[in-house]
Structure 1
Amino acid sequence: MKKERLDDITLSYLRFQSPRENRGNILVYFLIFLDTIGVLFLLGEPMVPLFYWSGIIPVVFIHLWAIQYVIAPYKFERSYYLFCGVYGVINTFVYFLVIQKLIYSHFQIIGVVPLVLGLLLFASLLLIVNLMHICLLYSGAYSRLQKGEKTANLTPIASASGIGYVLAQLTLSSFFVESVKILMIIGVFSILSVATAYFSTSIHKYFYIRRNIEKVKQAYPQFGLPKKLRT
């Protein structure tokens, strides 16, 4: 039976890194983005138990989950993309908690208004990033970009979503924070949140792989096999 030719959109989405590279990514993402930048700020003084425990529980969970991808990255190659997407959500959530800690702890804010508005911004960021990712994928923008073709609509959309979130966070924080230094730190964490939120799009990639596993095997026959079974 003749195999169906893979279309350009599918090929653009089935560009995988090697399992060894996936393992390296985990070490870099965790050590720099999650642990060094996110968790250390949650641990710093003044300690806010509500934000600390809200962040540390999912952080411990994602660290335990990561062990199998460090030990056997070839065997768990498929579920790595689900893991990577959940990591993106958790890392972005930790940054959201850091921003809330800066607002509440340094200026003794009382009430839930900053927390509720911050949660809405956090959820909106994840939703917009994932919708943008799906639109760019199925419009062929990723395929054209990989071929070196111009994608006039890619940069404005991506930039607008990121800049919009950063400006929204700074505008919200300015109502409660008067320190320029704290606002600058909040701005940095908002920019980092846009980057980590993009990792959450791997959840869509995981389910795409599951729905199209025949196409994946056609492009990468050894995908998901243990290392010892690969040639």
Structure 2
Amino acid sequence: MPCSDHDILQQLISKPRNVAEDFSRRAGFPSVVGALDGTYIPISGPSNYRDSYICRKGYPAMHLQAVCDSDLKFLDVFSAYPGSVHDARVFKNSPLYQALQELPPKFHLLGDSAYPLTTFLLTPFRDNDHLSTEQKCYNSAHSSTRVDIERCFGLLKGKFRKLKFLDMHKVEEIPSMIIVCCALHNFIIMHEKDYEPDTEVEIEQRGENLLHDFDNDEGESVSGQCKRQEIMHLLA
């Protein structure tokens, strides 16, 4: 009996797992189990409620949230919200957010400044032109480690160029198409032994711009601040 789409996706896209050792090799950032970010998938846009699909870049889009490992494989993907919804709100309403509540305290994801700081999601120190040497060192290690998700998105869109403009009439079917492309991305990486990512991968950087329109209701958690400080001292 052939596998259903659901079975295939369960095999190819897993929940975040312990990939901390691989992540730490690059910049020494400890206990990272995945890099998190969101990206826009441009679409033609529905005639109804079109404004709700307009992203901050000014075009209609669907939002894709993803976590990847250091091999540029997706560990978790979620596409359900239109482009106007902020990354942090997508995150808080995703199954991933609930799953992370059970993550052992030692481990965490890395996300950019668009996300709230918690014990399970570490963000960089906001650059107010008064960062200490230790904070700058932390931010550098954080950025060098988290960049894999930006590379992963660039690789995904380079391999599946339809995702640079997904012209589908049935908007409700777009998330499924996006998730299938992510599954195929993983399949290629896992099964093509000689597969090499393109030498020039378009890297998306959106977090700093998102700071200006993000109203973080929770703010930075105290426990998240303490954990970030501890890691900052370890990296110094």
Judging by fraction of residues, say which structure has more strand. Answer: 2
TM-score normalised by length of structure 1: 0.29
Greater RCO, CA 8 A, separation 6+: 1
Judging by fraction of residues, say which structure has more helix. Answer: 1
TM-score normalised by length of structure 2: 0.29
- Could you say which structure has the larger radius of gyration? 1
